[in-house]
Amino acid sequence: YPHSLRNIDELCASIVRSHRETSQYRVEELQALRWKLFSREEIQAYQSKSVDEMWQHCAVRLTDAVQYVVEFAKHIPGFRMLSQNDQIALLKTGSMEVVLVRMSRFFNTENNTVFFDGKFAGGEVFKSLACGDLITAVFDFAHGMCALKLTEHQIALFSALVLINTDRPSLEDRSRVQRVQRSVELGLTHILRRDNQESLMHKLYQRMAVLRSLCSLHMEKLRWFSQRYPLTAHSLFPPLYKELFA
């Protein structure tokens, strides 16, 4: 275990603090926007964008969110003790997963909308991406996360566990990653026991399995897109999005 941490409480406190400091938007902030929807004209404007324009529009915004997840990862006790390559390997596959976990905090299950460009958007706004199955899967996942009614503390520990995942391919020092993963798992079970919600644990592992298939769908769509629009993907996407996902 990382020597600096005397006990699990301290581990949980540092992950919760990091989650709060890197959450880009506070839930209360966006609660006020939940019923701010796009007008028919605004929806039509998004739907008349070309495929590559809309992909670029979304990639820029999602890269914003990914940057905050990179910051979050750096403050997970033990993450920075891993080799650079292992840190990149974990972020390559885990950062979009954490973005999608966090995205569920900005999802309105009553009108099936998600925060996007300052308002809350329904799936029809993303029609010009030409990947309705990805959007449906993103919305379904957000619904599933909201149904668990996780606290911010639980989301923080769950996000850390999603990120520190030893199943990632090409890890150099799997056993070191395993030690960090075990301490985060201890933290999550500690939080759930304290909240008297241990039954959530297996539901969270099911959510992780759904998340993995959702993110491989995202990668598949991105590969499809990059082949069809190589110029946009290689020169107009944010470097971090390319580095992590392309």
Ligand X SMILES: COc1ccc2c(n1)CCN(C(C)=O)[C@H]2C(=O)Nc1ccc(OCc2ccccc2OC)cc1
The binding site for ligand X (CB under 6 A) comprises: 55, 58-59, 61-62, 64-65, 99, 102-103, 106, 114-117, 126, 129, 135, 138, 218
> Cβ(164)–Cβ(90) under 8 Å?
yes
> Cβ(65)–Cβ(103) under 8 Å?
yes
* Nearest approach, Cβ of residue 28 and ligand X (Å): 15
Closer to ligand X at the Cβ: 23 or 181?
23
* Nearest approach, Cβ of residue 177 and ligand X (Å): 24
The amino acid that residue 157 corresponds to is: L
Closer to ligand X at the Cβ: 24 or 197?
24
Tell which residue, 66, 75, 64, 245, has the closest CA to residue 156.
Answer: 75
Q: Classify residue 227 by burial, with Cβ atoms within 10 Å: 0-12, 13-18, 19+.
A: exposed
Closer to ligand X at the Cβ: 86 or 218?
218
* Nearest approach, Cβ of residue 36 and ligand X (Å): 13
Closer to ligand X at the Cβ: 55 or 79?
55
Q: What are φ and ψ of residue 119, in 5° steps?
A: -135, -170
Residue 138: CB atoms within 10 A of its CB come to 21
* Nearest approach, Cβ of residue 92 and ligand X (Å): 15
Closer to ligand X at the Cβ: 33 or 186?
33
* Nearest approach, Cβ of residue 60 and ligand X (Å): 8
3-class DSSP assignment, residue 117: coil
Which phi-psi region, left, alpha or beta, contains residue 11 (left: φ > 0; alpha: ψ -120 to 50)?
alpha
Closer to ligand X at the Cβ: 102 or 153?
102
Beta strands in 24-141 (DSSP E): 107-108, 113-116, 119-121
* Nearest approach, Cβ of residue 116 and ligand X (Å): 4
